[in-house]
Amino acid sequence: MENLEELAQQMRRYIDDPVAFVVNVLHAQPDKWQEDALRAIGKNSRVAIRSGHGVGKTAFEAWCVDWFLFTRPYPKIPCTAPTQQQLFDILWPEISKWLKRSPLLDGLFEWQKTKVTMRAMPERWFATARTASKPENMAGFHEEHLLFICDEASGIDDSIYETIEGALTTKDAKLILCGNPTKNSGVFKRAFYEDRDLYWTQKVSCFDAARVTDDYSQRLIKQYGEDSDVVRVRVLGEFPKAEPDGLIPLELVEAAMMRDASMEADPDVMLDVGADIARFGDDETIIVPRIGGKVLGLFHYTKQDTMTTCGKILSITKGMMAEYAKPHATLHIDDDGVGGGVTDRLREVVLEQGLNIDVVACHNGGAPGDKEHYANWVTEQWCGLKQRLVDGDISLPQDDELAAQLSTRKYLLNSRDQIILEDKKTFKKRIHRSPDRADALVLAFSSGGSVDTSLAQLLGGARFYG
């Protein structure tokens, strides 16, 4: 009993003081902005934080989960994020990391894969992880002590927030929204503008955060400019502006990087692999495999000879075919310059080994299918990718460079009113690097080119077209 009374005292002590809880119980030292935000959630019902990458948002959210669990009787804490990876691989382990710092909390609570429960009454006292894939996932929570946590809040659909809103009825119901400000509409954006009277808000730039190295921020600024959307969203914590002559707005790219595209159920959808080839020098060789709308990875290498590159492309392709049980793959290779040698060697190996793989040689300057609207093949492919991003059926890996390259490539209209993509040389002059990651992605999603299928090779190596 004495122990219980002591425990109750501790719970009461920290009920309005999350800063002291974090310092004394979790043994963490919050950064200045984290301290302000903790104080704010102690006093307010809604807190929204937008920031650059890596400033410590998820740690802050994890502390809030632990604090609310410890200080309220029978609390419910639904936690959500746009993707399973964000929720289960990042936020959920972060909660465990801090919980285990305190022998007291570790003894009281059990951390499980999708829940953290009070050992003594697991049904009524818990935090739970729910993906933001459908509003029902956030339904059914009506408690006196309720804390909703939304990580990567820009990527969560408004329909999910509607459900959450419906549950925020009691005096001790709280809501925390944290994320990079990737989208210019929706609840997260409005929290800082139209609805800001409802929220305590904070903006955290990477420059205000001790734990982000200046190198990261400076590199992005040097390359893309302080006013570029990539720097605004990923370093400064500002919403994007959308470059007036940029072909693909960053907002579309960020949305795809926060999307869980479920793997195409259709067994007829095969593997496609795009490869942009570099040899020596600073440019990278990039290999991008995808199945349907889901990009499976972004492999990058520098300073490799073309034979090694062929080996890498084939081993990645064969590995993915085996892993996803795909009997056929299509390789889309940038055939200009050093890529030509890679295409030739790949075709040779495919033939020698009798692989069920087509090799497509792609020429950026080649003829587009739609000659009325596009000046060349590569412009048509970039526009095709943009359309798929607009349609929202693509999921991309989180990658700063890829986001930057996709969103900073410009376009023009030529004298024949055709769209023409800014050429590589001009891009390189402006940005000081090749748009290789974006180009490889575009290749992975490309159609057409000079098809030289294994069948064509068997028929005598004739190219079908191109």
Ligand X SMILES: Nc1ncnc2c1ncn2[C@@H]1O[C@H](COP(=O)(O)OP(=O)(O)OP(=O)(O)O)[C@@H](O)[C@H]1O
Q: How far is the CB of 217 from Mg ion (least distance, A)?
A: 17
- The answer to whether 146 and 167 have CB atoms below 8 angstroms apart is yes
- The answer to whether 147 and 75 have CB atoms below 8 angstroms apart is yes
Strands 329-334 and 299-302: unpaired
Torsion angle, alpha carbons of 48, 51, 53, 54, to 10: -70
Under the criterion CB under 6 A, does residue 50 sit at the interface with ligand X? no
Under the criterion CB under 6 A, does residue 408 sit at the interface with ligand X? no
The CA angle 69-73-78, to the nearest 5 degrees, is 45
Q: How far is the CB of 380 from ligand X (least distance, A)?
A: 35
Q: What is the residue-wise DSSP string for 285-347? A: EEEEEEETTEE---EEEES--HHHHHHHHHHHHHHHHHHTT-S-EEEEEE-STTHHHHHHHHH
Under the criterion CB under 6 A, does residue 57 sit at the interface with ligand X? yes
Among residues 54, 186, 341, 397, the one that binds ligand X under rule CB under 6 A:
54
Name the binder of 339 from Mg ion, ligand X, none, CB < 5-8 A by kind: none
Q: Which is nearer to Mg ion, 53 or 72 (by Cβ)?
A: 53
Under the criterion CB under 6 A, does residue 30 sit at the interface with ligand X? yes
Name the binder of 37 from ligand X, Mg ion, none, CB < 5-8 A by kind: none
Among residues 58, 182, 217, 434, the one that binds ligand X under rule CB under 6 A:
58
Among residues 14, 18, 26, 34, the one that binds ligand X under rule CB under 6 A:
34
Q: Which is nearer to ligand X, 119 or 211 (by Cβ)?
A: 211
Q: Which stretch binds ligand X (CB under 6 A): 51-59, 296-304, 362-370, 452-460?
A: 51-59
Q: How far is the CB of 49 from ligand X (least distance, A)?
A: 9
Q: How far is the CB of 16 from ligand X (least distance, A)?
A: 21
Q: Which is nearer to ligand X, 52 or 366 (by Cβ)?
A: 52
Residue ranges that bind Mg ion, judged by CB under 5 A? 57-58
Residue count, binding to ligand X (CB under 6 A): 16
Q: Within 10 Å of residue 431's Cβ, how many Cβ atoms?
A: 18
Spatial strand order of the sheet with 200-204 comes to 109-111, 115-118, 126-129, 76-80, 145-150, 172-179, 46-51, 200-204
Q: How far is the CB of 57 from Mg ion (least distance, A)?
A: 5
Q: How many CA atoms lie within 13 A of 445 on its CB side?
A: 26
> Which residues, including other chains, have CB under 8 Å from residue 188's CB and lie 6 or more apart?
48, 50, 150, 153, 154, 156, 177, 179, 181
Under the criterion CB under 6 A, does residue 55 sit at the interface with ligand X? yes
Under the criterion CB under 6 A, does residue 3 sit at the interface with ligand X? no
Residues that bind ligand X (CB under 6 A): 28-31, 34, 51, 53-59, 94, 180, 211
